[in-house]
Structure 1
Amino acid sequence: MTFEAGRNRITQSNFAVGFKTDEFQLHTNVNDGTEFGGSIYQKVNDQLETAVNLAWTAGNSNTRFGIAAKYQIDPDASFSAKVNNSSLVGLGYTQTLKPGIKLTLSALLDGKNINAGGHKLGLGLEFQA
């Protein structure tokens, strides 16, 4: 919540609520009474995690939707994938090289323009002390 003393009024209000159990997590939010969102996360088992996200703006028929999953291949490697309603497909692979050092390879593909190029590749190196 943002209050402007000069105008003596609230200029921004955001509200969020979450709920968590052993099996899943729910989250919902409202920003300024015009943007609404919600997500569900579930750890299916020790190897698989899934999530769904939904958002929309009042006065606009453009609803945003995304679904994602992460698969733990072994204790040191995982694969993740996501897709949204704009047909953007994200893929990622993370490998623990040594304790405290992780390498991540990622790609973002435009599913609507698969032959047009403009896709993105990423490389990350994470150090943890």
Structure 2
Amino acid sequence: MTQPVPPSFKDVGKSVNDLLGKDIPIHGSTLEVKTRTPSGVTFKVLGVRDTKSGAISGDLEAKFEDRKNGFNLTQAWSTANVLRNHIELENHIAKGLKLELISSLLPDKQAKNVLVASTYKQPGLHTRQFLDLFKGPIFTADAVLGRDGFLAGAEASYDVKASKVSKYNLAAGFNAPEYAITLQGLGNLSTYSASYYHRVNADIEAGARATYDSKSAADGRVNLEVGSKVYLDNAAFVKAKINNLGVFCLGYTQALRPGVKASLGLALDTAKLASAESSAVAHKVGASLTFES
């Protein structure tokens, strides 16, 4: 039996990460507009207002896709005056191989960065390599092996200038059509995470994640987060999650019409519901609106 291509190292545990992290906008207001021209150029405008600081930031991005020849070009300009370029070449030298050149420039400070990357995917194997030319240089590589649903992965970074390994992480898991289990050792194996995702049926998803940070958890406490997603109909769903600190989050997403989606988020610190002084800090609300055509 042919093995499927496993996820990349950063996407190991993606199901539970998306369940607990997406579609619950509690840190501010977001407006995103995506449009696509007949010639294959996609424009995206993103605006974000942070509730805590009141700061408004924006991003303008244009992406040209030539899927027939495996070529993508993305250019972006942010309100922080950062210019970004991203060039992708896929399946040119070998099938399953993608080459990338990612650069950023901050003209005001004359700061720049260039990242050369490659990705190679085959049944049962997913590898990525990155060379950061202006930081270090630092070479980072990761790989995930998959067989019959079982996953094993590792990531490491080598600082060429310092001649030492600067980062290393490990991951293992099992993916099935209805559920996924993931174990990760991150931060040079100083932080350990175990997560579980379950698609109960077509309308209900559930998941949980436990995290132990050996550097900050002096009392031996393990942080636990539990969440679920329920589809109300084809155009709306509700998300709810709570952690061991008593912070309860609720999100509601509604497709208003084809290409228009709105999300509302609310976070309540249940340990401070009776504290009027800290309510503004403890409780958060947010919203996001997305247009796509």
TM-score category (smaller protein): over 0.9
Matched, 1:3 2:158: yes
Higher strand share goes to which structure?
Answer: 1
Aligned to 2:201: 45
Distance 1:7 1:64 in 2: 34
Question: Which residue type is aligned with residue 15 of structure 1?
Answer: L
TM-score when normalising by structure 1: 0.93
Q: How far has the Cα of 1:20 moved from its partner?
A: 0.9
Residue correspondence of structure 1 range 9-20 to structure 2 within 5 A: 9-20=164-175
Of residues 206, 212, 227, the one that matches 1:68 is 227
Query: What is the root-mean-square deviation of aligned Cα atoms in Å?
Result: 1.3
Q: Does 1:24 align with 2:183?
A: no
Q: CA deviation at 1:63?
A: 1.0
**Partner secondary structure for residue 241 of structure 2:** strand
Residue 36 (structure 1) aligned with residue 195 (structure 2): no
Moved over 4 A (4+): none
Which is further off, 92-101 or 51-60? 51-60
Shift of 1:127: 2.1
- Equivalent runs, 1:52-63 vs 2, <5 Å: 52-58=208-214, 60=217, 61-63=220-222
Amino acid at match of 1:127: F
Unaligned runs of at least 5 residues, structure 2: 1-155
Which of 267, 274, 277 does residue 115 from structure 1 map onto? Answer: 274
- Give the whole-Å Cα distance in 1 for the aligned partners of 2:164 and 2:265: 45
2:176 and 2:204 map into 1 onto residues whose CA distance is: 17
What is the alpha-carbon distance in structure 2 between the residues aligned to residue 44 and residue 97 of structure 1? 26
Alignment map for 1:61-100 (pairs within 5 Å) = 61-100=220-259
Report the AA paired with residue 286 of structure 2: G
Aligned partner of 2:197: which letter? Y
Q: TM-score when scaled to structure 2?
A: 0.42
Q: Secondary structure at the match of 2:177?
A: coil
| Structure-2 separation of matches of 1:65 and 1:107 | 19
Unaligned runs of 5+ in 1: none
TM-fit CA distance, 1:38: 1.3
- The percentage of counterpart residues that share the same residue type is 26
